[in-house]
């Protein structure tokens, strides 16, 4: 049976809030998880009680779901009930009295400069499978350079089109969360890597910037697999996700003296508090240097 309430809410997110496809999919999965658990006992969104949501929370904890996953699922539900109260006259929010597990937020894991340089060199040093297009390593090199040069999210990188790169202005046009557009400067090595890739690959000037060997827009999973391949060939002793390249970008900027507000703008963070986690990394490093170097530490 089609859920009219959810359909109206998701349409509101898409048309009025300009939420990204990724956000809509994440919210949809959260609602589906709850509805599957509730099954035939689902009383309708307006009749759900705090106890029902506590039972679902207890079930999630028993299954060992992480606090981050649980909080993500409940964020979707909280957003739904906020909308129901503001737009459809629901008198109260059943989630108001549901306490969620605290999020244990660790420090970002990042590559040091030497590790980053090693990774950036790998695509053009790795033997090429003759069954693959000859431009493939040049594409991979451009992707890694762009991740590090601009601190992109994975979804932002895969959404880039050939026209997103404005080489004459040395910047790139990025559509981030909430479909907010920002212009981010691009370093010369990244621009050169993109030019080398485009010289070898017959791209549609109106199509995606990064394509698969079949000529389709690269998926996020394809980028992750590409990165995994090079990490296995490197001396880097831990797993590296695209988001850890973003962490590396931010940490290296702050280490070199960039101010926090500028890094916030470059990353596309809506709130400065999100960016501030990187200051803990640089502070912890300063503390270690002080302890090692100061005679009275």
| Residue carrying structure tokens 């809506």 | 270
Tell whether the model's pLDDT for residue 146 goes beyond 60. Answer: yes
Q: What is the pLDDT of residue 281?
A: 58
Query: What is the pLDDT averaged over residues 68-86?
Result: 92
Tell whether the model's pLDDT for residue 258 goes beyond 90. Answer: no
- Residue 219: how many CB atoms within 10 A of its CB? 12
| Residue carrying structure tokens 């590396």 | 248
Tell whether the model's pLDDT for residue 268 goes beyond 80. Answer: no
More confident residue, 112 or 176: 112
State the Cα angle at 178 between 191 and 246, rounded to 5°: 40
> Of 69-73, 75-79, 153-157, 285-289, which range is least confident?
285-289
Query: What is the pLDDT averaged over residues 184-199?
Result: 93
Q: What is the pLDDT of residue 1?
A: 41
Mean pLDDT of all residues in the chain? 86
Confidence of residue 294 (pLDDT cuts 50, 70, 90): low
End-to-end CA distance of the chain: 67
- Residue 293: how many CB atoms within 10 A of its CB? 8
Percent of the residues in the chain that have a pLDDT greater than 90, as a whole number: 48
Active site positions, annotated: 153, 177, 243, 246, 269, 278
> pTM value?
0.64
Query: What is the pLDDT averaged over residues 152-172?
Result: 90
Tell whether the model's pLDDT for residue 8 goes beyond 60. Answer: yes
H or E segment and range at residue 181: strand 181-185
More confident residue, 259 or 46: 46
């Amino acid at each position: 049976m089609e859920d009219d309430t959810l359909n109206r809410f998701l349409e509101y997110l898409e048309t009025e809030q300009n939420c990204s496809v990724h956000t809509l999919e994440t919210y949809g999965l959260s609602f589906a998880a709850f509805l599957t658990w509730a099954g035939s006992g689902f009383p309708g969104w307006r009749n759900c009680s705090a106890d029902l949501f506590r039972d679902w929370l207890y079930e999630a904890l028993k299954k060992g779901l992480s606090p981050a996953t649980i909080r993500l699922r409940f964020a979707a539900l909280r957003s739904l009930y906020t909308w129901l109260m503001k737009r459809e006259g629901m008198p109260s929010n059943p989630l108001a009295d549901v306490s969620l597990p605290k999020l244990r937020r660790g420090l970002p894991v990042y590559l040091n400069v030497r590790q980053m340089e090693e990774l950036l060199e790998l695509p053009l040093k790795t033997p090429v499978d003759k069954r693959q297009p000859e431009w493939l390593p040049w594409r991979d090199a451009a992707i890694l350079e762009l991740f590090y040069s601009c601190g992109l999210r994975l979804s932002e990188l895969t959404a880039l089109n050939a026209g997103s790169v404005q080489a004459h202005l040395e910047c790139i046009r990025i559509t981030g969360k909430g479909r907010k557009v920002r212009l981010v400067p691009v370093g010369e090595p990244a621009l050169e890597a993109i030019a080398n890739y485009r010289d070898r690959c017959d791209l549609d000037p109106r199509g995606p910037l990064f394509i698969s060997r079949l000529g389709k827009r690269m998926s996020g999973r394809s980028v992750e697999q590409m990165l995994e391949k090079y990490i296995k060939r490197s001396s880097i002793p831990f797993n590296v996700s695209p988001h850890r390249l973003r962490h590396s970008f931010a940490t290296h900027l702050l280490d070199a003296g960039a101010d926090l507000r500028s890094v916030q703008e470059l990353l596309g963070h809506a709130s400065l508090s999100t960016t501030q986690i990187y200051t803990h990394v640089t502070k912890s490093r300063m503390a270690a240097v002080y302890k090692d170097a100061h005679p009275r530490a």
